[in-house]
Amino acid sequence: MKGVCVMGRNEFARAVAERSGLSREEAADLTRAVLEALAGQLSNGEARRLAMEFPDSVAEPWPLSAKYRSGAHPVPVEEFVRRVSGRTGLTADETRTGTGAVLEVLRERLGVDGYGHLVGQLPAAYVELAQSAS
């Protein structure tokens, strides 16, 4: 994406940790789980666009489950939080706060257009989750 600031996984996790109150290790694990889970909900093109935003291994091994789909397949935010919580071992509250922080950092880094493309494929509750982290 043109004119967008690209950040590596350490910077991204640090920004998530600062906003969420999680440790950097927890924030790194959560960030990876959230990005992978988001990629699985997005259209193939949007999932690939998101993966290209990360120059290092944040996105490298993503199992882009949207690979063979053309459209988005979003899940309700509560189900999303439950799945990510199960993967990370964080509580639902920690996961909700951390997911909001990940979305907030994405909003800052992707810019208005890029973030709009991303959240345009998700239920409105995801936008509210990011706003609650601000």
Per residue in 81-90, pLDDT (tens digit) is: 999 999 999 9
- The answer to whether residue 2 sits within a structural domain is no
Tokens 């950092």 correspond to 105
Provide the residue range defining the domain that includes 65: 9-133
> Structural domain tally of the chain?
1
Q: What b/e readout covers 55-65, taking b as 16+ CB neighbours within 10 angstroms?
A: eeebbeebebb
- The answer to whether residue 3 sits within a structural domain is no
Give the whole-angstrom CA distance, residue 64 versus residue 123: 20
pLDDT reading at 93 higher than 60: yes
- The answer to whether residue 28 sits within a structural domain is yes
- The answer to whether residue 49 sits within a structural domain is yes
Handedness of CA 20, 89, 25, 37 (dihedral sign): negative
- The answer to whether residue 13 sits within a structural domain is yes
Provide the pLDDT confidence category of residue 47 given band limits of 50, 70 and 90: confident
- The answer to whether residue 126 sits within a structural domain is yes
- The answer to whether residue 104 sits within a structural domain is yes
pLDDT reading at 126 higher than 50: yes
Q: Do the Cβ atoms of 51 and 110 come closer than 8 Å?
A: no
pLDDT reading at 48 higher than 70: yes
Q: Do the Cβ atoms of 16 and 31 come closer than 8 Å?
A: yes
pLDDT reading at 55 higher than 70: no
Average pLDDT in the chain:
83
- The answer to whether residue 108 sits within a structural domain is yes
pLDDT reading at 64 higher than 60: no
Neighbouring C-beta atoms of residue 43, cutoff 10 Å: 16
Q: What is the CATH number of the domain that holds 14?
A: 1.10.490.110
